[in-house]
């Protein structure tokens, strides 16, 4: 496992290099708040160089036979898979996802995504349409050009690859910025890109704060499209900046996912699904439900079993294979979750489980929050309206499906 002493490099123009200003930043292990690694901290200078390299490479990459592009994606997938034993603990160390998950989901899904897109890309063609007996219309699929990819910290490698693979197979060149708090596996990805033999400048990776490096990518006139996953506030800012030059943006932003459980539900399946979905990755998942609307007839049984099931989740050192839930990604996430918990208590929600940090030797210094369940009586509470991105959920009793749907649709 490469960490503090490892010389991480950014990737610009096919070269693994240091930033122009030779600045660095720290990556902190959220399980114990110790230093995990020191990585490059880029500036606008590096973004300019990366965008220049991507633009220089785009014409040749666009004209590269799609089968050759596909072969490179498959080769990159094989290299990632060969380094899985190294990548798994790195992924766990940088954002706290338990190794039981990063070994089965985070890292294995990355090469699978590359292989899937490599196959799909070979079938991408335009259309030939007979408009009338004397005319024939042909359509062509063209790459956008240079795409800026700004990725989140909750699944660092696989989310980066899920954006990178379709961009590359369709003939685009890329400037990729991983999250500043969890860039390690994406920086390793840069090494594998070089090893796989991608042409210089096709993939460029820069690291640094979103407010400086991310914004420089969005504002750069040499970027033709931005793909962003992250906070809604940041996403709105990106869209405003992009609108100044009518640049397309693809965004996956925040949400407040509901789960409805009606009287005729399979109780076993409902409890199992709710427990897994709500607390998967410590609730740091765009698809995790954090508000539950449960019908009268099944409510008491569901709540009783849901609380018991959540109470059995093993919270601890994410490097321990027995651990089911690790810390949040950093201290600010934990602090925000605790603020929501205290506010819910003050607003009259009934705490059914958790609401505190675990108090064990392996968790006492980390960004941990126990699985937390509230019984809620008012849908307008922030607990039921705001994305918390933590293992904190609220449950409301409803009379019927119509009420459940109405409440589920009543969110910010």
pLDDT tens per residue, range 391-409: 999 999 999 999 999 999 9
233 lies in the same domain as 376: no
What strand order describes the sheet that includes 225-229? Answer: 15-17, 10-12, 203-205, 173-177, 146-150, 225-229, 249-252
* 38 inside domain: yes
Assess contact for 217 and 175: CB atoms under 8 A: yes
Would you state the pLDDT for residue 2? 47
Burial (Cβ within 10 Å: 0-12, 13-18, ≥19) of residue 63:
exposed
Would you state the pLDDT for residue 1? 46
178 C-beta neighbours (distance < 10 Å), count = 28
320 lies in the same domain as 205: no
Q: Is 163 helix (H, G, I), strand (E, B) or coil?
A: helix
Domain ranges, residue 35: 10-252
Burial (Cβ within 10 Å: 0-12, 13-18, ≥19) of residue 125:
exposed
57 lies in the same domain as 71: yes
Active site residue 286: yes
Marked catalytic residue, from 44, 86, 212, 252: 252
279 lies in the same domain as 150: no
Assess contact for 329 and 295: CB atoms under 8 A: no
Last residue of a domain, one of 252, 287, 309: 252
Within 13 Å of residue 73, how many CA atoms lie on the same side as its CB?
A: 30
Active site residue 333: no
Marked catalytic residue, from 44, 212, 286, 362: 286
Domain count, the chain: 2
Partners of 40 in the beta sheet?
24
Q: What is the signed CA dihedral for 186, 189, 194, 195, rounded to 10 degrees?
A: 160
CATH assignment at residue 400: 3.40.309.10
31 lies in the same domain as 58: yes
Q: Using CA atoms, how far apart are residues 367 and 384, in angstroms rounded to an integer? A: 23
197: left (phi over 0), alpha (psi -120 to 50) or beta: left
270 lies in the same domain as 399: yes
Would you state the pLDDT for residue 195? 99
291 lies in the same domain as 377: yes
55 C-beta neighbours (distance < 10 Å), count = 18
- Residue ranges in 142-286 assigned as alpha helix (H): 156-169, 184-196, 215-219, 232-243, 267-279
Last residue of a domain, one of 252, 268, 303: 252
171 lies in the same domain as 236: yes
Would you state the pLDDT for residue 4? 62
207 lies in the same domain as 84: yes
270 lies in the same domain as 229: no
23 C-beta neighbours (distance < 10 Å), count = 13
One digit per residue, the tens of pLDDT, for the chain of length 412 reads: 445 678 999 999 999 999 999 999 999 999 999 999 999 999 999 999 999 999 999 999 999 999 999 999 999 999 999 999 999 999 999 999 999 999 999 999 999 999 999 999 888 877 788 777 788 888 888 999 999 999 999 999 999 999 999 999 999 999 999 999 999 999 999 999 999 999 999 999 999 999 999 999 999 999 999 999 999 999 999 999 999 999 999 999 988 999 999 999 999 999 999 999 999 999 999 889 999 999 999 999 999 999 999 999 999 999 999 999 999 999 999 999 999 999 999 999 999 999 999 999 999 999 999 999 999 999 999 999 999 999 999 999 999 999 999 999 998 7
Could you tell me the two tokens for 238? Answer: 């990106």
* 314 inside domain: yes
Assess contact for 222 and 54: CB atoms under 8 A: yes
Burial (Cβ within 10 Å: 0-12, 13-18, ≥19) of residue 331:
middle
Burial (Cβ within 10 Å: 0-12, 13-18, ≥19) of residue 306:
buried
Last residue of a domain, one of 252, 274, 309: 252
* 4 inside domain: no
172 lies in the same domain as 274: no
Listing DSSP states for 72-100 in one string gives: HHHHHHHHHHHTHHHHHHHHHHHH---HH
């Amino acid at each position: 496992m490469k960490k503090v002493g490892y010389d991480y490099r950014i990737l610009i123009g096919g070269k693994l290099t240091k930033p122009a200003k030779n600045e660095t930043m720290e990556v902190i292990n959220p399980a114990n708040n110790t230093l995990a690694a020191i990585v490059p901290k880029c500036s606008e200078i590096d973004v300019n160089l990366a965008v220049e390299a991507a633009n220089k490479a785009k014409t040749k990459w666009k004209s590269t036979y799609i089968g050759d592009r596909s072969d490179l994606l498959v080769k990159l997938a094989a290299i990632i898979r060969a380094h899985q034993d190294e990548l798994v603990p790195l992924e766990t160390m940088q954002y706290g996802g338990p190794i039981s998950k990063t070994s089965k989901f985070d890292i294995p899904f990355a090469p699978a995504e590359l292989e899937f897109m490599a196959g799909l890309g070979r079938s991408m063609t335009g259309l030939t349409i007979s408009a009338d007996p004397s005319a024939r219309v042909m359509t062509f699929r063209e790459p956008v050009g240079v795409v800026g990819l700004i990725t989140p910290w909750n699944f660092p490698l696989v989310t980066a690859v899920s954006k990178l693979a379709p961009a590359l197979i369709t003939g685009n060149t890329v400037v990729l910025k991983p999250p500043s708090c969890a860039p390690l596996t994406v920086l390793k990805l840069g090494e594998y890109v070089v090893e796989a033999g991608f042409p210089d400048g096709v993939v460029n990776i820069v690291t640094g704060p979103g407010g400086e490096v991310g914004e420089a990518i969005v504002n750069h006139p040499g970027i033709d499209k931005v793909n962003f996953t992250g906070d809604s506030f940041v996403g709105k800012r990106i869209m405003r900046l992009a609108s100044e030059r009518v640049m397309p943006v693809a965004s996956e932003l925040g949400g407040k996912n509901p789960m409805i459980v009606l009287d005729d539900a399979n109780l076993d399946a409902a409890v199992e699904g709710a427990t897994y979905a709500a607390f998967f990755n410590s609730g740091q998942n765009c698809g995790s439900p954090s508000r539950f609307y449960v019908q009268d007839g099944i409510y008491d049984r569901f709540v009783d079993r849901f609380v018991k099931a959540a109470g059995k989740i093993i919270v601890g050192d994410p490097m321990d294979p027995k651990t089911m839930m690790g810390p949040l990604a950093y201290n600010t996430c934990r602090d925000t979750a605790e603020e929501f918990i205290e506010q819910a208590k003050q607003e009259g929600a009934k705490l059914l489980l958790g609401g505190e940090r675990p108090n064990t030797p392996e968790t006492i210094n980390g960004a941990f929050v126990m699985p937390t369940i509230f019984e809620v009586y008012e849908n307008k509470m922030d607990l039921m309206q705001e994305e918390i991105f933590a293992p904190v959920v609220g449950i409301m009793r409803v009379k019927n499906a119509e009420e459940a749907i109405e409440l589920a649709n009543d969110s910010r």
